[in-house]
């Protein structure tokens, strides 16, 4: 059976930076409700080089992050391995770097994608903006669709 990981990173205490974490929670509920096998969900505050070992156990990985970039609402792009410089002082590790490290160190390197969800506010509070919440709903629908391409639910409730 193919295995997929939905892996979000972001700070739930920084308003829209919680978008990835919220997506993971919603997808996990959907997976449980529909008895979908072979899909795991996880999240962290940031990506780390150790995540290369984590993703080596999967065939496909969806990295999910809130974005400050000038995107419309949600983007879905393939992650190509890259050994681009890592900024340890900023704790910045990209999905491309994690995939590249996985490819170099482990026998399995997953197919990887990045889901970016447009965010608007990054203050120290847990309240997500209304526009970000709408983008989150679009992202949840997109990830469900992508998962259903590979995984057929055993039962649907």
Position 102 in a domain: yes
Does a structural domain hold residue 156? Answer: no
Three-state DSSP at 138 gives helix
Nearest to 65 by CA among 75, 57, 56: 75
The pTM of this model reads 0.91
Confirm whether 132 is domain-assigned.
yes
113 vs 79: CA distance, rounded Å: 5
Q: What are the tokens at 13? A: 């205490």
**Does a structural domain hold residue 55?**
yes
Whether 157 is covered by a domain: the verdict is no
pLDDT given at position 86: 56
From its phi and psi, is residue 38 left (phi > 0), alpha (psi between -120 and 50) or beta?
left
Q: SS3 breakdown of the chain: % helix, strand, coil, rounded to 5?
A: 35, 20, 40
User: With bands split at pLDDT 50, 70 and 90, how would you rate the model's confidence at 82?
Assistant: confident
CB 118 within 8 Å of CB 135 = yes
Q: Which two tokens mark 32?
A: 């449980």
Q: What is the mean pLDDT of residues 23-28?
A: 98
The range of the structural domain enclosing residue 143 comes to: 4-150
Q: State how many domains the chain has.
A: 1
Judge whether 155 lies within some domain: no
CATH number at residue 23: 3.40.50.1450
C-alpha to C-alpha distance for 49 and 95, rounded to whole angstroms: 10
In a domain, 30, yes or no: yes
pLDDT at residue 138, rounded to an integer: 98
């Amino acid at each position: 059976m193919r295995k997929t990981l939905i892996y979000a990173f972001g700070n739930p205490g920084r308003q829209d930076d919680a978008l990835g974490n919220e997506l993971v929670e919603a997808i996990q509920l959907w997976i449980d409700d529909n008895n979908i096998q072979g899909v795991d969900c996880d999240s962290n505050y940031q990506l780390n080089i150790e995540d290369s070992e984590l993703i080596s156990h999967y065939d496909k990985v969806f990295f999910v992050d809130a974005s400050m970039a000038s995107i419309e609402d949600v983007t879905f792009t393939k992650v190509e391995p890259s050994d681009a410089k890592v900024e340890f002082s900023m704790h910045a590790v990209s999905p491309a770097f994690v995939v590249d490290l996985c490819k170099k160190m482990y026998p399995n390197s997953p197919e990887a994608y990045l889901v970016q969800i447009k965010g608007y506010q990054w203050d120290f509070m847990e309240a997500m903006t209304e526009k970000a919440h709408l983008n989150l709903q679009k992202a949840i629908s997109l990830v469900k669709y992508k998962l259903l391409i590979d995984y057929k639910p055993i039962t649907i409730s």
